[in-house]
Amino acid sequence: MRIQESAEDYLESILMLSQSREHVRSIDIVRKMELSKPSVSVAMKKLRENGYINMDSEGYITLTDEGLTIAEKIYERHEFISHWLEDLGVHKDVAMADACRIEHVLSDETFSAIKRKYGGKNCKDCEGCQ
């Protein structure tokens, strides 16, 4: 099932936040993504209803298995593409911004081909991700 780009961005942000803190709350997402509280609230409701996140009574957000799978896929693409663009000579800020757009539109086949041709290793193995 294909989900919207914005939903992928939310899931990726939740994953990234969960790597640096014990609990993730909506306000953390508001700050990270620089969005309004109402926008994030609506998005969290939709993600919860579609089975991508869980939210407990304290407001702590966790990814479901399906949400985690999507978040990890998008995060891997983002990291790989941004480092790849930097290796091509693109300024880091531009590479990161471009990666945010590119990561959503590449097919799995195209992304796999890029990885095979220009790196072939998991992004966690590259210097920039360590």
**Mean pLDDT for the chain?**
89
CATH class of 72-121: mainly alpha
Domain boundaries, the chain: 5-68, 72-121
Per-residue model confidence as pLDDT tens digits over 34-49: 999 999 999 999 999 9
Per-residue model confidence as pLDDT tens digits over 12-67: 999 999 999 999 999 999 999 999 999 999 999 999 999 999 999 999 999 999 99
| Higher-confidence position of 4 and 124 | 4
- 3-state SS of 68-96 is HHHHHHHHHHHHHHHHHHHHCCCCHHHHH
CA distance 81 to 124: 13
Beta bridge partners of 62: 54
CATH number of 5-68: 1.10.10.10
Closest CA to 75 of 124, 126, 37: 124
pTM: 0.82
